[in-house]
Chain A
Amino acid sequence: MTALTQRRRLTLPIMAAATLLLALSPLTWNNLYVQNMIIMTMILGVMAVTWNVMGGFTGYISLGHSAFLGVGAYTTAVLVVQFGLPWWVGLLASVVSSAVLAGIFGLVTRRARGTAYIMVTFAALELLKVLAMNLTDLTNGNHGLTMPFLRTERQFQQWPYYYGLLALLVLTVLMTLWIRRSKFGAGLLSIREDEDKAASIGIMTSRYKLIAFVLSGIPVGIAGGIYAYYIGFVEPRGYFLIAVSMQVVLAVLLGGRGTIWGPLLGAAIVEPLSQFTNAVIGGPQGGAWRLVLFGAILLAVILGLPQGIIPAVRRLIDRQRAKRTTATTGERFTAGALSTGDALKVLETFREPAPATELILEVDDLRKRFGGIAALDGCSFQVPRGSVTALIGPNGSGKTTAFNMIDGSARLDGGTIRYNGERIDSLPRWKRAHLGIGRTFQTTRLFPALTVRENLVAPLREFRWGALASPSMSGVESERAEAAIGLVGLGRYLDAEAGGLSYGQQKLVELAQVLVLDPELVLLDEPAGGINPAIVEQMAEIIAGLKAAGKTVLIVEHNMPFVLENSELVHVLSAGARIASGTPDEIRNNPVVLEAYLGDTPVETGARA
């Protein structure tokens, strides 16, 4: 943790020094060759840093990032050359056009993830190239558009581009720094790790992606406008280049995907290398050799250094440091700093008082088929407000499927679900989280590559711009994270990677994550499954604490003693329908329940051998 804060404290001074150095360089050393190299590096830098927001933070790999450069360049060129507008109108319009393109990419991700998204970005880039070639009235086709000269004195001729791009690059880097350290950034990382789970903790994934994509498209669009002026000429084959996309991907992977400085470092290696090979391998074969060389370098990075330079170096340093300091293992629990009730008070968010219906949840006639199997077959049950209610039943009786219908992770085929008296069965998943339904999973689904803190900061109870902008490492959000982790007694692990915790600890952290949502109804899927007795006991205490704080808890569980001890109402499912309900004592002595558990045929549906 100290290493982390040290690094953070160094960031801004180093950045200021580097900016100053770059700003002073043309004044003291007006070398056009060097300036050109820095200009090209800054353009690649802007592209790499923004690609990283999509590909590194959010997990959407794009092969079409150079499309933003082309769209920005063409927007500026068409407005300036064809319509005679001033340069600044062109640049402003580039902001709009690249934002629109980014918005389209963002919309695409509603349907296309992973490989499908990669294919779409490739196709979009090529399609834009075809458009630039064919819409000759606007773009002059393959003949291209020649930009007007900006009148400057000869020795300063590159300065407007140089300083313009320097400002753009600094702003872009500041933006990614902000994203990475905000609650918004924690949400993006959680989308990368597990998009469906992210929705279940209230993250409006499509809106997050849209914002991220627009923010990362705009700087490249502006860079495209500047680049058009700098080169002085715009034509389809020079701007919508898949080879440029490749340089962007290479720069990010080489430096370190998902890091702040990796893309910049990568760009500072790739662009000079490209210029150097330009100079060394000239002649008609030069272009071909460069393709071979860069393809080979990209392959070598993917095969030999898949994490990139910065994470690799960081790991080396951490390993050295770990040798000297004691590790954070050894102690399994520390008593929470706050009692459950106090911690829940910290986590409390403002919300409209819920209607005082007696039932918080009414499930009626739920139906769900998977192929020929009816997982839920007319299942109905109710959950009284403020109760601890349990759903039990043999394997395959439909308990987890019922959870999936309630929290919205799967669509139902029939039936209704009412929460606080209102139907929620067609609402998207994040909306149900915003209404106050939180859920843990049978097999924990934390974001394993993120720290516990990042896991706890990600949940979002309501969508507010201010909330997105709030920092994730300090202030209110961090206080909430600390309260939640204190509640489950794992405060020591706040900055540990979630994937490194034991299974039982992960269960507790996932519960803490759900509690950050400040839910009214907490769904726990096998909270006591597969964990050691000490943690089971802790889990029981937490459930009691939640009830005392006025929350409603619905549990799916196989551990009978745990269920009968900790719940006040038990519903028994068998073959997708409810066969009994009652207090734990009534259930213990109910012959129908015994038959369902011990008999070899589902009750009431009749036997078919």
Chain B
Amino acid sequence: MGLLLQTLVFGVLLGSLYALASSGLSLTFGVLRIVNLVHGSLLITGGYLTYTLWSVLGGLDPIVCILLTTPMMGLIGWALYTALIRPTIAGGDGGTMMATFAVMIAAEGIFALVWGNTPLTVAPPYARTSIALGDLVIPHAQLYAAIVALVVLGALGAVLRFTKLGRSIRAAASNPAGARLVGIRVSRVNALTYAIGAATAGAGGALISVIYPLTPDSWGAWLARGLAIVALGGMGSFLGTFVAALLFGVAETLVTAYVSLTWTVAVPYVVIIAVLIFKPRGLFGARGRTDVSTP
């Protein structure tokens, strides 16, 4: 029983971080209708940037680093979208996805060239400490990560719900042509949306860098988690993404605790395949698969 409770708590804490890590993917899918295969690489970039800031600025707290990594990643995202992704949109789903695929492959090489192949971790003072509540052990790092993730997600939700930008984004998502008619500059809104998605990866990456070691190829695991969560939640549904992230965090910790760590890596792939075959709309999505549109 103690193990189960411990596992569930871990799962929820991890799940909150996963929710932040996959929110950008959900946003770019929901609004831009592209499956952004670079998202895992963006998260890792955020993590590496945090590592550099942390080591250059003499142990600056990674949570404080978020204030820097978020705008930096936003800029990177904006540049990426305008230079490489927007030009491929006319070519249809396949073209855009393959462009993100190409960036994803190239990014791994860049990581290795800049930060090397040895695993890097950001180690603030609380990285190895934990709180004990009776039998329950809650590591500080996980707890802080979860709290910060929820705060950032709350801020993102508020922007989408209450600001003019947020209304434009939602309008452009539900009907691009209509949004254009009422004076929304859809192409700029799209670039901003992609930038916001990348910015969430700046925050997510900073938190990840404390808990997981960074290697050039670790984007794969994060991309897989993100795709699994977004598919499970129903593509384009933010509430769905959040719930799916929590479920996913719990599922991963359950497999780690009761099966084996070596099988945990399989969880996202199994989820992606199972969801897309058996429940393509996911838990909350209105539209989970791409149908050949009728003219």
B21 CB, nearest partner CB in chain A, Å: 17
Given contacts A116-B280, A116-B288, A288-B112, contact A246 B105 (CB under 8 A): yes
Q: How far is the CA of A303 from the CA of B100 in the complex (A)?
A: 12
Residues of A within 8 A of B113 (CB): 285, 288-289, 292
Given contacts A116-B280, A289-B113, contact A298 B105 (CB under 8 A): yes
Residues of A within 8 A of B288 (CB): 116
Given contacts A111-B289, A115-B290, A295-B103, contact A124 B273 (CB under 8 A): yes
A196 touching B294 by the CB < 8 A rule? yes
Q: How far is the CA of A115 from the CA of B236 in the complex (A)?
A: 13
- Indicate if B61 sits at the interface (CB-CB under 8 A): no
Determine, out of A127-135, A361-369, A523-531, A566-574, the stretch whose residues face the partner at the interface: A127-135
- Indicate if B231 sits at the interface (CB-CB under 8 A): yes
Closest to B288 in A: A116
Given contacts A61-B94, A111-B280, contact A296 B272 (CB under 8 A): no
- Indicate if B262 sits at the interface (CB-CB under 8 A): yes
**C-beta contact mask, B281-292 vs A, less than 8 Å → 1, else 0?**
000000011111
B98 touching A249 by the CB < 8 A rule? yes
Secondary structure call for the B interface: helix
Residues of B within 8 A of A118 (CB): 35, 93-94, 97
Given contacts A126-B269, A302-B88, contact A253 B98 (CB under 8 A): yes
B231 touching A119 by the CB < 8 A rule? yes
B273 touching A123 by the CB < 8 A rule? yes
A136 CB, nearest partner CB in chain B, Å: 9
Q: How far is the CA of A289 from the CA of B98 in the complex (A)?
A: 20
A333 CB, nearest partner CB in chain B, Å: 25
Closest to B216 in A: A288
- Indicate if A168 sits at the interface (CB-CB under 8 A): no
B112 touching A287 by the CB < 8 A rule? yes
Given contacts A123-B224, A292-B109, A295-B102, contact A112 B280 (CB under 8 A): yes
Q: Which of B75-98 touch A at CB < 8 Å?
A: 84, 87-88, 91, 93-95, 97-98
| Residue tally, chain B, CB below 8 Å to A | 53
A243 touching B231 by the CB < 8 A rule? no
**C-beta contact mask, A273-300 vs B, less than 8 Å → 1, else 0?**
0000000000011011111111110110
Q: Which of B244-295 touch A at CB < 8 Å?
A: 262-263, 265-266, 268-270, 272-273, 276-278, 280, 288-292, 294-295
Contact of A127 among B91, B216, B269, B290 (CB under 8 A): B269
B291 touching A302 by the CB < 8 A rule? no
A43 CB, nearest partner CB in chain B, Å: 19
B99 touching A116 by the CB < 8 A rule? no
Contact of A291 among B108, B262, B266 (CB under 8 A): B108
A441 CB, nearest partner CB in chain B, Å: 8
Residues of A within 8 A of B84 (CB): 299, 303
A302 CB, nearest partner CB in chain B, Å: 5
Give the interface residue-count category, chain A: 35 or more
A130 touching B269 by the CB < 8 A rule? yes
- Indicate if A496 sits at the interface (CB-CB under 8 A): no
A61 touching B216 by the CB < 8 A rule? no
A138 CB, nearest partner CB in chain B, Å: 15
A115 touching B88 by the CB < 8 A rule? no
- Indicate if B64 sits at the interface (CB-CB under 8 A): no
A61 touching B99 by the CB < 8 A rule? no
Q: How far is the CA of A445 from the CA of B293 in the complex (A)?
A: 11
B106 touching A291 by the CB < 8 A rule? yes
- Indicate if A120 sits at the interface (CB-CB under 8 A): yes
What are 12 A-B interface contacts by the 8 Å CB criterion? A61-B98, A107-B277, A112-B280, A116-B290, A118-B35, A122-B224, A285-B113, A288-B109, A291-B106, A299-B84, A299-B102, A445-B294
Question: Using a CB–CB distance below 8 Å, which chain A residues touch chain B?
Answer: 61, 63, 107-108, 111-116, 118-120, 122-124, 126-127, 130-131, 133-134, 194-196, 242-243, 246, 249, 253, 284-285, 287-296, 298-299, 302-303, 306, 443, 445
